[in-house]
Structure 1
């Protein structure tokens, strides 16, 4: 074998997995009849990534291959406008499974959401909203109209209330199992979302999760939920509010990850034990971090002494390991499942 062209189609499919689809089309589509037929007639799935640096010629070359686009990444609202002007969303995107759109304006996204139900295979939606004013109520309502969507990640720096969703006369049927909320929100917002997400299994809250003031809290009943994995990356709730939140949503939890600070009552191991035994009987993996800022005015509280209870039999039996570490001015109290460590000696 002396020429690249002599490689089999199967090998080219493997090679193409590592190349940008626009580069594949530019390099091979006009090379010879064999590659024209191979690219057009094969089951080649195109993974398209368009950033501001991509020339318009690269966008044009995709036109005959819309039905082969498997994954689409668009960055910047100008690129987004140009792309959907050239390629309006319609049923010809019949293989598109993943749509990742970064730095889109809220009005652009709402307009786009009107057409996304036309995509029969859209399983994954990843969005970063770049806007000061965002109507989260409308956005989530339209997302819930996507019948086959399994995975949703919605990112923004803005905080939005979702309580108006309660007054939606129709609860749309959707298939979302994985939800990453990457914008600030409150515990009541999460409870509202559960009533629209009957199939939700994995929930991640990336940015600040706070609790609404007590006199504004809505009297939600407990939620019948199939949630098995919960990760709260920045929990700003007091422990008492977190306990109420868990009591409402957690009956099937298998894994809980939480990172928090400010409220030392999170170090009360006995309260954690009661919360788990009463509301999380299926919990198998527990990851916990409490960050305590250390300075010249640092003082121990009674809760810090209660952290010793994390060494009692309840935690040992479950092999959940308690640890204290110092990182610059942070004292980090942590719990995580025991993991075997292997050491090799020469």
Structure 2
């Protein structure tokens, strides 16, 4: 028994010794090649930065030496900001040192915590300076931020892609009216939920008949009697996905004119208590 235990201890010690030796060799290799790494041109580093999140770039290079600090401060990179799980104190640092300094060059912004949305959209003059923003992804946003947020997005010259999911229940489908206000929007994915006993009123989008949206993904209950109105507003539609098309009771039936969707290539509709013959009519 003692011999077996001694053998196991020797095996563990040998494993740790080999692991330590391998780590020392890697550190030695890094030290030998350090000067070669720094000899790379600025253009090569800009290419490297494009494959990294700006948070990792800042942590890995900003305080490395004066050259890299100047390189990042003077960079015109179109940066991608992806903020997932993060504490408020960490985000405050991230916001001051990365987002604010790069706001004019950010083209993708993803926020996954409710408090980050509050910080980004509260000062009215901040979000309006994101002049290169093309794609906005908001996970777990509160409904209360909607009106303020869309008012700001209207004034961003390059903005064309929105993905949004709500942390709380929505009480109406007015969010679609806000979406169609964004006249340059080409991609939209919306994720929402309603209470089990809640009935959805139809939405009317007749004033928005020339939307540029090409890809529309709706993950949430959407009333069948609003589908025709929705499609009438999407002449450029290529891709449509609705994961819960629901029947609305006590609504008047109306005669609907045909809709020509000449660019539509893909459609996915999950029917909930809806007979397929209704589409034929």
Class of the TM-score when normalised by the shorter of the 2 chains: 0.7 to 0.9
Q: Could you list the per-position Cα deviations for residues 289-338 of structure 1 after superposition, in whole angstroms to 9, with x for gaps in the alignment?
A: xxxxxxxxxxxxxxxxxxxxxxxxxxxxxxxxxxxxxxxxxxxxxxxxxx
Is the radius of gyration larger for structure 1 or structure 2? 2
* Structure 1 residue ranges (4+ consecutive) displaced by more than 4 angstroms after TM superposition: 30-33, 86-90
- Quote the residue 1:46 is aligned against: 79
Flag the structure with higher strand content.
1
Residue 13 (structure 1) aligned to one of 46, 49, 58: 46
- Quote the residue 2:20 is aligned against: none
- Quote the residue 1:244 is aligned against: 278
Query: 1:25 Cα shift?
Result: 2.6
Query: 1:208 Cα shift?
Result: 1.9
- Quote the residue 2:257 is aligned against: 221
Residue 163 (structure 1) aligned to one of 196, 202, 211: 202
Higher relative contact order structure (alpha carbons within 8 Å, sequence separation ≥ 6): 2
- CA distance in structure 2 between the partners assigned to 1:122 and 1:191 by the alignment: 27
Aligned-residue Cα RMSD (Å) equals 2.6
- Quote the residue 2:163 is aligned against: 126
Q: Are the equivalent residues in 2 in contact too, given 1:210–1:235 (CA < 8 A)? A: yes
- Quote the residue 2:28 is aligned against: none
- CA distance in structure 2 between the partners assigned to 1:160 and 1:57 by the alignment: 43
Q: Could you list the per-position Cα deviations for residues 60-111 of structure 1 after superposition, in whole angstroms to 9, with x for gaps in the alignment?
A: 1121210111111111212211233367554421111110001111121222
Query: 1:36 Cα shift?
Result: 4.1
Trace 1:1-346 onto structure 2 (pairs within 5 A): 2-54=35-87, 55=90, 56-61=92-97, 62-85=99-122, 88-137=125-174, 139-158=175-194, 161=200, 163-166=202-205, 170-171=207-208, 173-205=210-242, 207-213=243-249, 216-226=252-262, 227-232=264-269, 234-238=270-274, 241-245=275-279, 247=280
- CA distance in structure 2 between the partners assigned to 1:53 and 1:90 by the alignment: 20
Give 5+ residue unaligned stretches, structure 2.
Answer: 1-32
Give 5+ residue unaligned stretches, structure 1.
Answer: 249-346
Query: 1:199 Cα shift?
Result: 1.2
Query: 1:23 Cα shift?
Result: 2.7
- Quote the residue 1:311 is aligned against: none
Per the alignment, do residues 146 and 59 of structure 1 end up closer, same or farther by CA in structure 2, a change over 3 Å counting? same
Q: Are the equivalent residues in 1 in contact too, given 2:137–2:164 (CA < 8 A)? A: yes
Q: Could you list the per-position Cα deviations for residues 18-65 of structure 1 after superposition, in whole angstroms to 9, with x for gaps in the alignment?
A: 422123234434544543443344441211122342502111112121
- CA distance in structure 1 between the partners assigned to 2:66 and 2:44 by the alignment: 18
What TM-score do you get using the length of structure 1 for normalisation?
Answer: 0.62
Per the alignment, do residues 182 and 17 of structure 1 end up closer, same or farther by CA in structure 2, a change over 3 Å counting? same
Per the alignment, do residues 108 and 101 of structure 1 end up closer, same or farther by CA in structure 2, a change over 3 Å counting? same
Matched residue SS, 1:143? helix
Matched residue SS, 1:59? helix
Per the alignment, do residues 196 and 27 of structure 1 end up closer, same or farther by CA in structure 2, a change over 3 Å counting? same
Which 10-residue stretch deviates more, 21-30 or 192-201?
21-30
What TM-score do you get using the length of structure 2 for normalisation?
Answer: 0.75
